[in-house]
Amino acid sequence: MRQDEFEFWQMEAGVGKMEADIFKAMEVFARKNGSRADLVFVNPVDLIANPIAAVGFEVQAMTNVQPGTLWVGRKDSES
């Protein structure tokens, strides 16, 4: 997975809004890249504050993602 193949997204403030932000970011990713995202990186703090149930994509906590932002992209097909 290459970092330049991920979409950076600034989340809206508020508890319970992360799921909507993820879906918006996934739509933008699909329009730009012609494929669906299946991997989302978020800061662990945001994941604790906004627990979500993901179906069809994977959500991973990553400390180098700034709080209040997320990265949306695709896993390597080779892995």
pTM attached to this predicted model? 0.82
41 contacts 62 by C-beta, under 8 angstroms: yes
- Between CA 4 and CA 17 the distance in angstroms is 25
What parts of the chain have a pLDDT lower than 70? 1-4, 13-16, 77-79
Record the tokens describing residue 70, joined without a space.
Answer: 């997320």
Burial class (CB within 10 angstroms; exposed 0-12, middle 13-18, buried 19+) of 18? buried
39-56 per-position pLDDT tens digit: 999 999 988 877 777 788
**Nearest partner of 73 among 20, 19, 16, 35, judged by Cα:** 35
Alpha carbon distance, N-terminus to C-terminus of the chain: 9
Record the tokens describing residue 14, joined without a space.
Answer: 């508020």
